Amino acid sequence: MESVRKKRRKARVDETLCVACGCCVKVCPLGAIAVVNGLYARVDTARCVGCGKCAKECPASVIEVQEVEV
């Protein structure tokens, strides 16, 4: 394993504007996003590969794929 810090793309949900509809959950190929307690969606950053499918689907457009350091 290399020890260099890598940038990875991960989805991020704006929880304050999420309507908890679950459209993102249906399209994520990795099961990396889930609706918590009917309140908002949350991303499991360990599993998310940043493909952006959820962001495209989200009817409220509250998901952004961002670069994060891992």
Which spans of this chain sit near another protein (rule: CB under 8 A)?
Answer: 17, 19-23, 25-31, 34-39, 56-62
Say if residues 61 and 34 touch (Cβ distance below 8 Å): no
Find the binder of ligand SF4 among 11, 34, 46, 67 (CB under 6 A).
11
What lies within 8 Å, CB to CB, of 62 at 6+ separation is 13, 14, 17, 18
Q: Residue numbers of the site for ligand SF4 (CB under 6 A)?
A: 11, 13, 18-24, 28, 30, 32-33, 35, 40-41, 43, 48-54, 58, 60, 62-63, 65
